[in-house]
Amino acid sequence: MSASTPLLQGQDISKFFGKGSQRQLALDHVSVCLEAGSCLALVGGSGSGKSTLARVLLGLEPCSSGSVTYDGKPVSGPNSPGYRAERLEAGLIFQNPFASLDPRWPALRSVSEPLRIQARRLGLSAQDIRARSLVALEQVGLDPERFAGRFPADCSGGQAQRIAVARAIVTNPRLLVADEPMSSLDVSARLNLLDTFRSIRQARPDMALLMISHDLGVVQHMADRILVLGDGRLVEEGPTGSVLATPASAYTRSLIAAASL
């Protein structure tokens, strides 16, 4: 990848769901660009197309028209041979850690699973996997001695989400995608997780972060740029500070007013 090539780029993406009279436009000619080392937040009201855009960018969902490139190469659909390799490069974090973590597995097993899947390809021994997983737990602020053997049911929401973050970063991905990572947490757990994300970004300055969030307070503290979606259309896009301080559209102003920043 040359210095000027974005890590992830979507150009002129449209996406329809359904057929005939049920056909619905979920994304309408949206373009998006994510540079290595940067954090882009996708914001917008419910049903505005945030998750659909993220799924299309990850190659989890085909677009109806437009193109997506990762590292300058086309992102292919679920049936193509390149799909698996591309997905394995991204760490994914979801809204509810109790739904995304296997309740039967202690933290160390959950965190190590992505490495286990790739152990042969990466030439990792069981010892390597354990060591890297313990480091990932430490990086999210969980003492491995206390948490390695802990099951999700014995964790708070914030601790469980940090286990999910450790699992997402354990492969040292170039892209981290977080879909409403804080929305199931209370205020103090949110602040802790914000700190965790900050220290991960400092430790891994080349990693790009794509975040979907309703929460403009979180976005304000994490994102370098904001892309605002409304009804499947790109409403505005720009540096976080300027979009929040001087929003160009009434739609963005209403999102900010609702968030009472």
Ligand X SMILES: Nc1ncnc2c1ncn2[C@@H]1O[C@H](COP(=O)(O)OP(=O)(O)OP(=O)(O)O)[C@@H](O)[C@H]1O
Q: Which stretch binds ligand X (CB under 6 A): 33-41, 48-56, 109-117, 251-259?
A: 48-56
Residue 159 sits in the site that holds ligand X (CB under 6 A): no
Contacts with 61 (C-beta within 8 Å, 6 or more apart), sequence order:
15, 52, 55
Residues 198-217 that bind ligand X (CB under 6 A): none
Residue 46 sits in the site that holds ligand X (CB under 6 A): yes
Least distance (Å) between residue 111 CB and ligand X: 27
Residue 47 sits in the site that holds ligand X (CB under 6 A): yes
CB of 74 closer than 8 Å to CB of 67 = yes
Least distance (Å) between residue 152 CB and ligand X: 23
Least distance (Å) between residue 53 CB and ligand X: 7
Instruction: Single out the residue of 54, 66, 30 nearest to residue 175, CA to CA.
Output: 54
The one-letter amino acid at 200 = I
Q: Which stretch binds ligand X (CB under 6 A): 18-26, 149-157, 160-168, 253-261?
A: 18-26
Structure token digits, residue 221? 């503290």
Instruction: Single out the residue of 221, 222, 226 nearest to residue 255, CA to CA.
Output: 226
Instruction: Single out the residue of 170, 218, 225 nearest to residue 194, CA to CA.
Output: 218
Least distance (Å) between residue 95 CB and ligand X: 9
Contact pick of 8, 13, 40, 52 for ligand X (by CB under 6 A): 52
Backbone torsions φ then ψ of 84, nearest 5 degrees:
-65, -45
CB environment 15-36: b (16+ within 10 A), e (fewer): bbeeeeeeeebbbbebebbbbb
The one-letter amino acid at 246 = T
Nearer to ligand X, 14 or 51 (CB): 51
Least distance (Å) between residue 238 CB and ligand X: 19
Instruction: Single out the residue of 129, 110, 127 nearest to residue 118, CA to CA.
Output: 129
Contact pick of 11, 14, 38, 51 for ligand X (by CB under 6 A): 51
Contact pick of 6, 32, 48, 57 for ligand X (by CB under 6 A): 48
Residue 21 sits in the site that holds ligand X (CB under 6 A): no
Binding region for ligand X (CB under 6 A): 17-18, 24, 26, 44, 46-52
